[in-house]
Structure 1
Amino acid sequence: YAASGLVRLQDFNNNTTGFSGYPVSVGITQPLFAYNWMKWARMTEPLVYEEAQKNFIESIEEISFEATSRFFRYLRIQTNYALAESNLRNSRDNLRIASVRQELGTISENDFARIQLSVFNAQKALNNARIDLKNADYELKRYIGLDQNQQIELIIPLDMFLFKVDPVKALEEALENRKETPEFERRLIQAERDLTQAKRNSGLSATLNMSYGVSNSADMLGGVYENPDQQQNVSLSLSIPILDWGRSESQVRLAESQRELVIYDVEQDRQDFERRVVVMVEQFNLIRDQIETAEAADKVAEEGYLIALKKFQNGEISITDLNISLAEREAAKRDYISSLENYWESYYLLREVTLYDFEMKQKIFYDNPMLD
C-alpha cells in the first residue's frame, strides 16, 4: 500500500499552531496463517470458465433438439391433415357408390347410415386437423424465425444413416466434453476450500506489518515537506482465541460434515450422469430395429387399406371392415412418424449429452461470438 497524511495541531491554551505528517509512506501487510482466497480462486475460476464454455456449446445443441421436436410435431399434424383429407375424399366416394346401391336396393339402411356418418366424422376430423396445422405452423415459424406468410410443407426425413454407438466411446466423450466433469471437480475443491477457511479462522493468526516512509513536524505547513526524517516500522501481531465456547470447533466440524456430504453427492451425481449416458446409447441403438419394423408395418397397412377400399366399393366387405382397415392404416402411419421422431430426437439428445458428433466422428465445437 501507499499512503500520505497531514495533521494540523491547534493549542488553544497557548494559542499556537503546528503541523505534523508523513508526505509519503509505503508498506505491506501480510497475514501469515490466514485463509488465502487467491490461492483457491486460481484453482476454481479456470473451472468456472471451462463450465461456461461447455455450457454454451450445450445450449446450441439444446436448440437443435428443440427445433427437432417442433419439426416432428408439425410433421405429425401435417400427416394427420393429409390422412384426414384422404379419408374425407374416400368417404365421399363411398357415399356416392352407396347411393347408387341404395337405388338398386343392394345395401341396407343401417350400412348406408353408417357411411353417411363416416363422411360427417371425416369432415369433422379434417376441420380439427386444419386448426391444429395452423397452430403448429405458427409455432414452428416463430421458433425458427420464418415469415408467417411463407408457405412450408415438411418432408419426412428418410435420408439418414442408421448406425450404432459404442457405449464406452460415448461415456468417454461425455466425461471429457460435458460441463459436469469440471463442475464435479470445482465442487470438491470448494468443499476443501470451506474446510480450510474454517480451520484457519479458528486457530492462531499472525500478521506481519512493514512500512517505510518519511515524516516531519513544523510550525508551518510547508515545513512538513522540508528535510523530512526517515521512518521505518516492522511489527508482528499475534491473535490467539482463549475462550469462544466451542464456536470455532463447531464451525470446523460443520465444514468437515459438509465436505463429506459434497463428496457423496458428487459421486452420486457422477454415477447418475454416467448411467444416463449409457441408457441413452442403449435406447438409440434399439431405435434402428423399431424404424425398420414401423416402416414395414406402414407399407403393409397402406396396401391393406387400398385393398379393403377396393373390396368395399365392389361390395365384397362391409363398412365395418373398411373402418377397421382405415384405423390400422392411420395407426401404422402415426407409429412410423413417431419412430422417426424418436430416432432424430435421440440422435440430437445424444449429441447434447456427449458433445460429440458420432456421424462425423469429431467433437462438437462452436465459436462463442462474445469472445471475439
Structure 2
Amino acid sequence: MLPILAQAQTPSLTLADVIAQALDHSAVGQQAVTTRETSYWTWRGYRANYRPQLGLQGTLPNFSRVITPVVQPDGTTNFRPVRINNSDLGLTLSQNVGLTGGQVYVGSVVQRFDDFNGDLRRYNNQPFAIGFTQPLGQFNGLRWAQRIEPLRYQESQRQYVEERETIAQRVTELYFDLLLQQVNADVARQNAQATAELLRVGQERYRLGRLSQSDLLQLELNLLDAQQAQTQAQLDAQNAAVDLQAYTGLAGSEAPALAVPAPAPAPAVPPTQALAQARQNRSATLAFRRRLLQAERDVAQARGTTGLQASLTANLGYVNQAENLGNTYLNLQNQQQLRLTFVVPLMDWGRQRAIVKTAQLTRDQTQRAVAQEERSFEQAVLAQAGQLAALGQQLRLAGRADSLAQRRYDITRATYLVGRLSLTDLSLASNAKDGAKRGYIFALRACWVAHFRLRALTLYDFENQAPIIAAR
C-alpha cells in the first residue's frame, strides 16, 4: 500500500523517465558510450595485427646533383660533378604469425638508376620474393596478446553494462534525495497551513476563555517554526534539484515534480544464485583472469628480453638487371639469403636475474591481491543478495506505519479541535506523522538502490530471469 502522499500527487516525472534521460543524454552516460567505442576500436586494431598487411613503399624521385669525391686508380681523390636519380618502388604482402611471433612476407621490388651526365639508365628488378623473419628465444608479444586482448574486450563490454547500472543506481539516489526534500517541503507546507488554522481556532477559543494565554503563545510559536521549516524545506528541495539536473542533464530552471515510485521488484534471490551469476557475467571475473595473465606475461617478457637474443631471416626469389625494364623479366636469376643474428650477454653482474626476480615478485603480489579482491567481491554479492528480503520487510512495515500515523494524526487533530486533547498530544501526533512519511521514503529509497546495486553486481535481471547485455 502506497502512502497517502503518493496518491495525492500528480507528478510529471517517474524514476524510469529520469534514468532513461541520464543514460541517453547525461555527460556520464555519453562518457560510458565513448569508453565502449574506444574499447571496440582498440579491439579492431588488435585483430588487424593478425591479418595480412599489404603495403606500397618506395623512394620516388631520389634526385641528386652534387660534386662528390671520387678515388682515382693512383689513390688520389678527384672531385667530380654527379647528377643522378636512384628510385625504387616495392609492393609487400606480410602476415604476422601469432604462434611463433615471426612474420612471413611476399614482395616485389624494382629499382631504377639514372646517370644524367653519363647518359646511363639501369633497372634492377626483383619481381618475386618470399621470406620470413623469426625471433628465436625472444618474448612473443603476439601470442600473449591472443590470450589477453579477447579478455580485455569482453571485459570492456561488461563494464559498459555495469556503468549503465551504476548510473541508474546513482540517479536513484539523487532522485530520492530530491523526492525526500519535496516530501519535506509538502509536509512543511501542510503543517504551516494546519498550524495557521489551529492558531485561528485557538484565538477564538482564547476570546471565549477556553484556552490559556500560554497555549495561545505556543500556537503562535508553532506557526513561526512551521513557516521557517517550510522556507528551509523549499531551499533544500531546490539544492537537491540542482544536483539531480546536473547529473542527469535534465533541462529547465525549475525543480521537476517527481512521482513516488512503486516498490522495487522483489523476486526471491538466493545468495548462491546471485554469486553464480556474478561470476558468470561480471567484468571483475574477466579482470581477475586478465591481470593474472598480464603478470605471467611480464615474467615471460623479462625472461625473453634479457638472455639470448637471436633472429633468423631467410628469403628467396628471382632477380635480374638490364638497361630497360622489360628485359629484367628475361633470364631471371635465383636469389637466396639466410641470416642468423644473435646477442649473448656474457657478464651482466646479476642484471638479468634481478629483472626476472622483480617480475616474479610482482606476479606473486598480483596473485595475492586478486585473491583478496575475489573474496571481497564474493562477500559483497552475498551480502547484497541477503539484504533484499529484510529491505522488503522494512518497506512493508514503513508503509503500514505511514498509513497508521496519518490516520492517528487526523483523529488527534479532530479530537483537539473539540477540546478533548492537549496541544502536546497534537504535536506528538504531527511529529509521528511526518517521521513516518519520511521513513517510508527512506525505506523505498533503500529498496530501489539495492535493486540496481544487485543488478550492477551480477549483471543479471532476476525479475525477468535473464542476463543484462549491452545494447548494440
Return the TM-score normalized by structure 1: 0.87
The corresponding residue for 1:310 is: 414
Match of 2:140 among 32, 36, 50: 36
Q: Cα gap change, 1:105/1:355 in structure 2, threshold over 3 Å: closer, same or farther? A: same
Residue 347 of structure 2 is aligned to residue 243 of structure 1: yes
The corresponding residue for 1:262 is: 366
The equivalences for 1:186-225 within 5 A come to 186-214=290-318
The corresponding residue for 1:322 is: 426
Structure 2 SS opposite 1:244? coil
Structure 1 SS opposite 2:131? strand
Cα RMSD after superposing both structures: 2.9
CA contact (8 A) 2:206 2:212 kept: yes
The corresponding residue for 1:175 is: 279
Return the TM-score normalized by structure 2: 0.69
Quote how far apart the aligned CAs of 1:322 are.
2.1
**Distance of 1:207 and 1:23 partners within structure 2:** 24
Q: Cα gap change, 1:346/1:95 in structure 2, threshold over 3 Å: closer, same or farther? A: same
Task: Provide Cα deviations, 1:57-96, integer angstroms capped at 9, x if missing partner.
Answer: 1122123222322322222122112211211121011111
The corresponding residue for 2:168 is: 64
**Distance of 2:164 and 2:402 partners within structure 1:** 34
Match of 1:85 among 189, 202, 205: 189
Q: Cα gap change, 1:326/1:192 in structure 2, threshold over 3 Å: closer, same or farther? A: same
The equivalences for 1:49-198 within 5 A come to 49-137=153-241, 139-140=243-244, 148=252, 153-158=257-262, 160-198=264-302
The corresponding residue for 2:377 is: 273
**Distance of 2:402 and 2:124 partners within structure 1:** 95
**Distance of 1:252 and 1:152 partners within structure 2:** 61
Q: Cα gap change, 1:174/1:244 in structure 2, threshold over 3 Å: closer, same or farther? A: same
The corresponding residue for 1:332 is: 436
Quote how far apart the aligned CAs of 1:367 are.
1.7
Moved more, 50-59 or 22-31: 22-31
Quote how far apart the aligned CAs of 1:276 are.
0.6
**Distance of 2:450 and 2:246 partners within structure 1:** 24
Structure 1 SS opposite 2:137? coil
CA contact (8 A) 1:142 1:148 kept: no
Letter of the 2:436 counterpart? A
Q: Cα gap change, 1:190/1:161 in structure 2, threshold over 3 Å: closer, same or farther? A: closer
**Distance of 2:172 and 2:273 partners within structure 1:** 25
Quote how far apart the aligned CAs of 1:5 are.
7.3
**Distance of 1:134 and 1:151 partners within structure 2:** 6
CA contact (8 A) 2:263 2:444 kept: no
Quote how far apart the aligned CAs of 1:359 are.
1.2
The corresponding residue for 1:359 is: 463
**Distance of 2:255 and 2:383 partners within structure 1:** 39
Which structure carries more helix by proportion?
Answer: 1
**Distance of 1:254 and 1:141 partners within structure 2:** 50
Identity of aligned residues (%): 33
Quote how far apart the aligned CAs of 1:113 are.
1.0
The equivalences for 1:280-291 within 5 A come to 280-291=384-395
| Count of residues paired in the alignment | 363
Task: Provide Cα deviations, 1:122-145, integer angstroms capped at 9, x if missing partner.
Answer: 122222223333444455456556
Quote how far apart the aligned CAs of 1:289 are.
1.8
Moved more, 32-41 or 22-31: 22-31
Letter of the 2:290 counterpart? R
Structure 2 SS opposite 1:231? strand
Task: Provide Cα deviations, 1:189-247, integer angstroms capped at 9, x if missing partner.
Answer: 111111111112222233212122455678x6879887564321223333321111111
**Distance of 2:293 and 2:282 partners within structure 1:** 18
Task: Provide Cα deviations, 1:305-324, integer angstroms capped at 9, x if missing partner.
Answer: 22322232223333233222
Q: Cα gap change, 1:161/1:258 in structure 2, threshold over 3 Å: closer, same or farther? A: closer
Task: Provide Cα deviations, 1:245-273, integer angstroms capped at 9, x if missing partner.
Answer: 11111111111111111111111111111
For structure 2, which runs of at least 5 residues remain unmatched after alignment? 1-104
Letter of the 2:349 counterpart? W
For structure 1, which runs of at least 5 residues remain unmatched after alignment? none
CA contact (8 A) 1:210 1:233 kept: yes
Structure 1 SS opposite 2:421? coil
**Distance of 2:238 and 2:409 partners within structure 1:** 28
Q: Cα gap change, 1:193/1:76 in structure 2, threshold over 3 Å: closer, same or farther? A: same
Quote how far apart the aligned CAs of 1:18 are.
10
**Distance of 2:420 and 2:376 partners within structure 1:** 59
Task: Provide Cα deviations, 1:20-41, integer angstroms capped at 9, x if missing partner.
Answer: 9664554322112211111111
CA contact (8 A) 1:3 1:26 kept: no
Residue 397 of structure 2 is aligned to residue 293 of structure 1: yes
CA contact (8 A) 1:74 1:136 kept: yes
Which structure carries more strand by proportion?
Answer: 2
Quote how far apart the aligned CAs of 1:51 are.
0.6
Residue 341 of structure 2 is aligned to residue 234 of structure 1: no
Quote how far apart the aligned CAs of 1:184 are.
0.8
RCO higher in structure (CA 8 A, sep ≥6): 1
**Distance of 1:296 and 1:8 partners within structure 2:** 96
Q: Cα gap change, 1:336/1:26 in structure 2, threshold over 3 Å: closer, same or farther? A: same
Task: Provide Cα deviations, 1:138-194, integer angstroms capped at 9, x if missing partner.
Answer: 554565565538995433223555333100000000010110111111111111111
